[in-house]
Chain A
């Protein structure tokens, strides 16, 4: 158990809809990262938050947004969903002190858009 909790584990929704994925980081970790894993794109970095503020942005679509709350949990919002958004979305956390530290991954939320 990595200590990172993601909910829900599975989500099935229709095109055009909006969903929210939730992540609770390990106790004490200030950084939260979101990744998308799909068959054609592999693992892609989406966005990072550190102590409530956006720290880095990757290949995140404008239809997607995220935030980190004062209690350090994070939510990834996906709107106007398309079939191609079907993927496994991972959240990871670290203590945020830099690239040498390990990131701990949750078990992911599998999103299926139908």
Chain B
């Protein structure tokens, strides 16, 4: 079984300040982990993914995440928030090399960026 907990339902930051979105996972195997972003009235876009290679993963738009097995965490960060980062972010866990794609989504974190 696998599950994801996003620790913050809403994060508000000022433009130009760091963003931290927290994600903890539970899995009975070594998981693959993803962060997706959903802008208003848009589909889901992959930001980055961890698939058992480097533990620090860099994604699009300046985002990165670090896989910490000891803490079962996969927190998403960005050093300087931009207005266009306002969106909903989902942490996702999946069983790697499986034949299905039952993505387990976290509840989502809504990011608001203040000017």
Contact = CB atoms under 8 A, between A and B. Distances in A.
Contacts of B103: 33, 35, 43, 45, 103
B101 A56 contact: yes
A102 B49 contact: yes
B99 A45 contact: no
A95 to B, nearest CB: 11
A98 interface: yes
Nearest to A104: B46
A56 B95 CA distance: 13
A55 interface: yes
Interface string A37-49: 0000011110010
Interface in A45-72: 45, 48, 50, 55-56, 58
A2 to B, nearest CB: 6
Nearest to A9: B41
Interface size class of B (residues with CB under 8 A): 20 to 34
Given A48-B102, A56-B102, A94-B101, A105 B107 contact: no
A98 B43 contact: no
Interface string A89-106: 010101000111011111
Nearest to A101: B101
Nearest to B96: A99
Interface in B58-115: 90, 94-108
B115 to A, nearest CB: 27
A31 B30 CA distance: 23
A57 to B, nearest CB: 9
